[in-house]
Amino acid sequence: MEQNNPFSLLGKTILVTGASSGIGRAIAVECSKMDAQMIITGRNKMRLNETFASLSGENHVQITADLSVEQDIENLIASLPKLDGCVNNAGIARQQLLQFSEKKDILDVFETNTFSSFLLIQKLIQNKKLNKNASIVFVSSISGVYCSAVGEALYSASKAAINGYLKGLALETANRGIRVNSVNPGLIETNLFNSFSMPFEVLEEKKKEYPLKRFGKPEEVAYAIVYLLSDASQWVTGSNLVIDGGYTLN
C-alpha cells in the first residue's frame, strides 16, 4: 500500500472489540488489508482465532476478553500499546417487549452495548493509551437514532446513548486532535442479524423497505470505518455516518 494513499492505515495500531464475528470480523480483516497492525478482542476464543487467521500481514495480536466484566477491561488496558484507533463494536441484539422486560434485561443490553464501551474509552484516556490524532469509532445503529421497531426499545435506547455520548467525547478530546465518530448501519447480514429468527418471507418483505432492495454486508460497514480511522477523515469528528441502503429516506 502506497504511503500517500489517504485511506492507508500503514503505521497505525488499531483495536477492534467484538472482532470474533460479523461486522467486527470484517472491520479487522479490512483494516489489516490497509496495512494496520491489529489488536482484536472478543469473548469467544475459538471464533476470535478464526478472525485472527483471516488477517492480512503480520504482528497482529488477539486478546480474549468479556468487556461486560470490568476486570477483563482492566486486563486488556494493561496489555495494550499506544493506539491510533479504537473501534467499539461489541454488542448484542435482543427483541423483547418492554412490558415483559425486567431490570436484569435492561442492564444486560446496556452493559454490553453501551457501558462497556464507555468504560473502555475512559480507561484508554486515563491510562494515556491513545496517541495524539487518534480516531475512536463506535458501531451504533439507525435503530434508536433515526427509527425503531416493536421489541427493539432496549436495543434502540442502548444505541441512541452511544450517539449522544460520542458528541460530548468529541469535544473533550478535540484538543489532542482525537476524533470521535460513529457508523449507523441498517440491517446487515450477520449472525447477530440472524438471531432475530425472522421467517424467510418476512425478510424478503423487509428488503422491499430498502430503496436499494437488499440488506447490507459487513464489509460495507468496514469500508466506512477504514475511512474514519484513516487520515482521509482528519477533519471529521462528532459525526454519525448512516449506512442503510436508503432505509431512513422513507
As given in the structure block, the three cell numbers for residue 228 are: 474514519
Sign of CA dihedral 15, 18, 23, 25: positive
Residue 155 falls in the annotated catalytic set: yes
66 near 72, Cβ under 8 Å?
A: yes
226 near 135, Cβ under 8 Å?
A: no
108 near 96, Cβ under 8 Å?
A: no
Sequential DSSP letters for 196-215? T---HHHHHHHHTTSTTSS-
Helix (H, G, I), strand (E, B) or coil at 181: strand
Residue 56 CA to residue 79 CA, distance in Å, equals 22
Active-site pick, 155, 165, 227, 247: 155
Ramachandran class of 38: left when φ > 0, alpha when ψ lies in -120 to 50, beta otherwise = beta
Residue 113 CA to residue 125 CA, distance in Å, equals 19
Per-residue DSSP letter, 113: I
Per-residue DSSP letter, 146: T
Residue partners of 162: CB distance under 8 A and separation at least 6? 88, 113, 114, 117, 138, 140, 182
136 near 225, Cβ under 8 Å?
A: no
Task: List residues with catalytic annotation.
Answer: 155
